[in-house]
Chains A and B, each alone.
Chain A
Amino acid sequence: MAAGALMGVLAPYGGCGWSCASPSGPQGVGGGEKMAAGWLCRRLCQGSAFPVSYASRILQNQCFFQNSNLVGVRLAGSQANTEGPKTNPLVSISDEPETLYKRVSLLVKGHDKAVLDSYEYFAVLAAKELGISVEKVHNPPKTVERFTLLKSVHIYKKHRVQYEMRTHYLCLELKYLTSSTAAVYLEYVQRNLPEGVAMEVKKTKIEKIPEHIREPIWDTLPQVEETEVKS
């Protein structure tokens, strides 16, 4: 439910991803009250490969607005209680052990430092809400690509124009995640990436030491009697 409340509170970048045609969005994470809007959203997204029209998007916005008021309100005697334990079709439980990540590092690149600063606040807040420990947040130095071109079309070699493109970076390092936590966090954070900002993710996996190098070899091999070799 924390993620559902989070989506109601933090919508700074306008929920861009809702209109993308992707069926496995974080729409099923909200509670029962949002199921209807989630279903409607999924239906609209899957029904047309191209975007929804004005009217249906306005309807979608209205549905979201009404349902966000209901989060946290207990609907006494509503029909939802009679169904028994709710099984969310988008949540799958599997028995295989999850891959663990020692470190997940996000490198966010952008042209505008102010946009990156506000995105840093958003991502750190989201990690804290989901209970992910943030190891380090730092700004690697910016890279500037400059080129000097001739100002005029024909001659005038001595008069030039210089252009430059600045790329600012933001590095977020998260400690000790499970694969499902990482999937949820990355999905949320990537759906709300602002325009003109790119992200690269590097994950460091923790694996068990393979069987054949667990014990040192000199303990496992049988004792060999030493024979003297006369040269």
Chain B
Amino acid sequence: KGDKAVTYEQAHPPHYIAHRKGWLSLHTGNLCGEGGAAERTLEDAFLRRFLGGTFPGCVLDSVVLKRRGNLVVLSAVLSRALPPHKIYFLGGYTETLLSHFLKCPVRLDLQTLPARLPYKYL
């Protein structure tokens, strides 16, 4: 025991959200007097599954989604399993496909790491 690596995101329970953790999906749906939270949540679920599928086995940790006006920014951390030209192709493919699908500009910010960063071992 003591060999299961756990990332910072996974190690903190949800009551730490505004204190030690940030938000994974940033939109105005949950603010007082603003609507559209359900649609955003559905889009978030779809985007996470889509990214999990296009980069098979490469996505380390959760994708951060940000919405600024019309623009959707997806910030993902990938592992270096695929060669760079394939990652660039898949990135451009997701951007164009998602923007045609969601009818709004979509931007993908990628970062690669050699392996998942452990915060502690359980």
Contacts and interface: CB of A to CB of B under 8 A. Distances in A.
Interface of A: 13, 16-17, 19-21, 50-51, 53-54, 109-112, 143, 145, 165-167, 191, 193-198
Nearest to B108: A54
B26 A195 contact: yes
Contact of A109 (B33, B91, B92): B33
B32 A109 contact: yes
Contacts of A191: 69
Contact of A198 (B34, B66, B99, B106): B34
A20 B103 CA distance: 12
A195 B34 contact: no
A197 B30 CA distance: 10
A50 B67 CA distance: 16
B31 A110 contact: yes
Contact of B31 (A50, A54, A198): A198
B contact residues, range: 20 to 34
B51 to A, nearest CB: 17
Interface in B10-36: 18, 23, 26-28, 30-34
Contacts of B106: 51
A19 B31 contact: no
B96 A53 contact: yes
B32 A51 contact: no
A51 B30 contact: no
A141 B122 CA distance: 40
Nearest to B73: A195
A19 B105 contact: yes
B68 A194 contact: yes
A13 B66 CA distance: 12
Q: Which 3 A-B pairs have the closest CB atoms?
A: A196-B26, A51-B105, A195-B66
15 contacts: A19-B107, A20-B105, A50-B96, A50-B99, A51-B95, A51-B106, A109-B33, A110-B31, A165-B32, A166-B18, A167-B32, A193-B68, A195-B66, A196-B66, A198-B31
Nearest to B34: A198
Contact of B100 (A17, A50, A111, A112): A50
A188 to B, nearest CB: 13
Contacts of B28: 109, 196-198
